[in-house]
Amino acid sequence: MGSATQKDTAAVRVDVAVIGAGPSGLTMAILLARHGFTTALVAPADPPEDDRTTALLDSSVALLRALDLWQEIEPHTAPLAHMRIVDDTGRLIRAPETVFDAAELDLPAFGYNIRNRDLNGALGATAAETPGLVRVIGRVEAIRSDATGASVTVDSGETVTAALVVGADGRRSMVREAAGIDTRDWRYPQAALIVNLEHDVPHHDHSTEFHTPTGPFTLVPLKGNRSSLVCVVEPEEAERLKALPDDALAAELERRAHSVLGAMRIAGARHIYPLGGLSANRLGAARCALIGEAAHVFPPIGAQGLNLGLRDVAALGEILVAAKTRGEDIGGAATLERYERARRPDIASRVAAVDLLNRSLLSDLLPVQALRGLGLYAIGRIGPLRRMMMREGIAPSLGRPRLMRGLSIGGNGG
107 band by pLDDT with thresholds 50, 70 and 90: confident
Give the model's pLDDT for residue 411: 59
Q: Is residue 100 part of a domain?
A: no
Q: Is residue 190 part of a domain?
A: no
Q: Is residue 347 part of a domain?
A: yes
Q: Which residue has the higher pLDDT, 402 or 31?
A: 31
Q: Is residue 6 part of a domain?
A: yes
Share of the chain above pLDDT 70, in %: 83
35 band by pLDDT with thresholds 50, 70 and 90: very high
Give the model's pLDDT for residue 12: 93
Give the model's pLDDT for residue 85: 84
Q: Which residue has the higher pLDDT, 104 or 284?
A: 284
Condensed to tens digits (0 to 9), the pLDDT of residues 307-350 reads 999 999 999 999 999 999 999 999 999 999 999 999 999 898 87
28 band by pLDDT with thresholds 50, 70 and 90: very high
pLDDT beyond 90 at 113: yes
Q: Is residue 207 part of a domain?
A: no
Average pLDDT across the chain, whole number? 86
Report the alpha-carbon distance of residue 76 to residue 125 in Å, rounded.
Answer: 14
pLDDT beyond 90 at 372: no
3-class SS string, the chain: CEEECCCCCCEEECCEEEECCCHHHHHHHHHHHHCCCCEEEEECCCCCCCCCEEEEEHHHHHHHHHCCCHHHHHHHCEEECEEEEEECCCCCCCCCCEEEEHHHHCCCCCEEEEEHHHHHHHHHHHHHCCCCEEEEECCEEEEEECCCCEEEEECCCCEEEECEEEECCCCCCHHHHHCCCCEEEEEEEEEEEEEEEEECCCCCCEEEEEEECCEEEEEEEECCCEEEEEEEECHHHHHHHHHCCHHHHHHHHHHHCCCCCCCEEECCCCEEEEEEEEEECCCEECCEEECHHHCEECCCCCCCHHHHHHHHHHHHHHHHHHHHHCCCCCCCHHHHHHHHHHHHHHHHHHHHHHHHHHHHHHCCCHHHHHHHHHHHHHHHHCHHHHHHHHHHHHCCCCCCCHHHHCCCCCCCCC
Q: Is residue 229 part of a domain?
A: no
Condensed to tens digits (0 to 9), the pLDDT of residues 70-100 reads 999 999 999 999 988 888 866 544 556 778 8
Give the model's pLDDT for residue 354: 72
CATH of the domain at 16: 3.50.50.60
pLDDT beyond 70 at 198: yes
164 band by pLDDT with thresholds 50, 70 and 90: very high
Number of domains in the chain: 1
Give the model's pLDDT for residue 365: 38
pLDDT beyond 70 at 189: yes
Give the model's pLDDT for residue 90: 62
Q: Is residue 385 part of a domain?
A: no
103 band by pLDDT with thresholds 50, 70 and 90: confident
Give the model's pLDDT for residue 124: 96
Note the maximum CA span of the chain. 69
Q: Is residue 80 part of a domain?
A: no
Q: Which of 224, 265, 267 is nearest to 75 (CA)?
A: 224
Condensed to tens digits (0 to 9), the pLDDT of residues 124-140 reads 999 999 999 999 999 99
For the chain, the residue count is 414
Task: Identify any residues that bridge with 215 across adjacent strands, giving them in sequence order.
Answer: 212
Q: Residue 67 sits in which domain range?
A: 2-75+112-184+276-366+396-405
